[in-house]
A and B are shown apart, each in its own frame.
Chain A
Amino acid sequence: MSVTTQGSLGNAAVKTDQAAYAAIARAKRRDIIFSVGGLVVMAIAMTLLLTLIGDLVVRGLGRIDYDFLTNFPSRKAERAGILSAWVGSLLVMLVTALLAIPIGVAAGLYLEEYARKGWLANLIEINVANLAGVPSIIYGLLAVGMFVYGMNLGKTVLVAGMTLALLILPIVIVSTREAVRAIPKIIKEGAYGLGADQWQVMWNYILPAARPGILTGAIVGLSRAIGETAPIITIGALTFIAFLPPAPITGEFPFINFDWLNAPFTVLPIQMFNWVSRPQADFHTNAAATGVVLMALTLSLNGVAIWIRYRLRKGSRN
């Protein structure tokens, strides 16, 4: 402390100064202790995570090649691949996105813009918040009871997509509402002031401005859904699938078919789970490789979310 306490100040002032300096020094020590403690805790968490990822990568990365991605599962570990699993994951995600994003965005917009503030809106709000905290296996049970047996839809891609859509619906709704709430009031009033009606304001002004937030929420939801195992196991996805669902796009008229929706399927986490539970070590290597693929997918989805947010925010500011 280089500040001198000498000078024109009186004796009393010098004493207060010293007390004040002591207090500042104590506060600084506290700050240092807290930040060092935080650093240690974070280092432990990060080390654990990195060890896990590193272990997975070391064991699995060598197994990933063209054959692994294009082969069906097999009884022989060295010939087994994840073709049906990643195609299944992709198709289930497609259904999930097509269901959860429109419904979730519409629900979020309704709650923010159209719903009268009252007991009904409050009730819906509480329910949405609670849904976000429901364990995913409960969604699986709901799907078994309602979709698989109640509606007789079978253990299909469609049912898995519907289940995961339910699971991530609260995430999409909440992020839509937050994005809408963040739009400055003066932009909304400006649009209304021009004589726009509610639909025009929502469609032409609120939705475009809220797009970065909505997309981020949707992708975060999807990257959660892609790793979900419990609800998919509950609805009874098969663990050994040696064929692909019918392709959604065909060479003949009408070029798009929906048979794949009713096809049995498996997904990456289930394939991984299946291989982990085998006794042979070679299958464990396969499981690690599947884990690397799954993690790469999740991380790249998150990367896309960050990139979209960055791009659209930049675009709308300038």
Chain B
Amino acid sequence: MMDTGMTPKASDTSTLPPIKPAAESEPLCARIEGFSFFYSNGMQAIKNVDMPILDRKVTAIIGPSGCGKSTLLRSLNRMHDLYPGNRYEGRVILEQDGENLIGPEADPVVVRLRVGMVFQKPNPFPKSIFENVAAGLRVRGIKNRAVIEEAVETALKRAAIWDEVKDKLHGSANDLSGGQQQRLCIARALAPNPEILLLDEPTSALDPIATAKVEDLIQDLAETVTVVIVTHNMQQAARISHRTAFMYLGQLIEFGETSQIFTSPKHPSTESYITGRYG
């Protein structure tokens, strides 16, 4: 499919207003309302996004590079607070207790205790496998060895890596393969039982077999934890998610059931992207 321009001209699709998400019938974990994000240089990376996050389901965010999907994801556990000058607007409300994750009164450290994150590149700490998974418990001040051991085992089992590492828990995490390291990082994020698990292109550095394992894992996880995943890979979003959000130039262009987004997108921009015309 040869199209003349890789990016659409301002005159066609992007001038059409984004489609606001319809009211959700399923239970929610969180609501993103009127959310904008500004980098310290004043650049607005996200523009007025409204989006529901379904409880214990997989929500995928797709879109071309630079559309703001990772920025949105990183906002949900306040990663941008690590670098001075960044600014949030709007609200991200947890349904359970009405806490606004990006509100000025919310402590970023507390937010990160409730919302776990897995990064694009596997980033195990240069410690043993056991200590990697236990890290999230230790920062919470848990010292009881039995509690930690049980949580580590549970997390490794949930991350479907227990059988591969149970005999070398005290070996270095850096000796694992890339795919194992990423599942270890998922186990590390799961160990403290977060309410939401964020995955930022978790398979982009993995080979197809490791990718398939991580995808299976994500689907299993969604039975017990809310998952939000950013992915470059549209097939991946179609395979594993219940809802898909399409972002472009900092806006949420369209949000809906994954099957609807991929088979009958309503917005012409979404259609061009999923048919591979740009991105």
A interface residues (Cβ-Cβ under 8 A, vs B) = 116-117, 184, 186-197, 200, 204-205, 208-209, 316-318
Contact = CB atoms under 8 A, between A and B. Distances in A.
B192 interface: yes
A187 B125 CA distance: 7
Nearest to A208: B126
A190 B112 contact: no
B139 interface: yes
A193 B139 contact: no
A191 to B, nearest CB: 7
Interface of B: 77, 79, 82, 84, 109-110, 112-113, 116-117, 119, 121, 123, 125-126, 135-136, 138-140, 172, 174-175, 185, 188-189, 192
A188 B117 CA distance: 13
Contact of A192 (B82, B84, B185, B189): B82
Given A205-B125, A318-B172, A193 B117 contact: yes
Given A194-B136, A195-B140, A197-B139, A318 B174 contact: yes
Nearest to A192: B82
A37 B52 CA distance: 70
A209 B77 CA distance: 24
A191 B116 CA distance: 11
Most B-side CB within 10 Å, residue of A192, A193, A205, A316: A193
Contact of A191 (B110, B121, B125, B192): B125
A225 to B, nearest CB: 31
A194 B112 contact: yes
Given A186-B121, A200-B139, A195 B192 contact: yes
A204 to B, nearest CB: 8
5 contacts: A184-B123, A187-B125, A194-B192, A205-B125, A209-B126
Given A186-B121, A316-B126, A193 B175 contact: no
Contact of A194 (B84, B110, B135, B175): B135
Contacts of A186: 119, 121, 123
Nearest to B191: A194
Contacts of A205: 125
A194 B116 contact: yes
Contacts of B135: 191, 194, 196, 204
Nearest to B138: A204
A186 B126 CA distance: 12
A14 B79 CA distance: 60
A194 B185 contact: no
Contacts of B82: 188-189, 192
Contact of B77 (A117, A184, A191, A193): A193
B189 A194 contact: yes
Given A186-B119, A189-B79, A189-B119, A195 B125 contact: no
Contacts of A116: 84
B79 A193 contact: yes
Most B-side CB within 10 Å, residue of A186, A192, A204: A192
Most B-side CB within 10 Å, residue of A190, A192, A194, A196: A194
Contacts of A195: 109-110, 112-113, 136, 139-140, 192
A210 to B, nearest CB: 12
A195 B136 CA distance: 7
B192 to A, nearest CB: 7
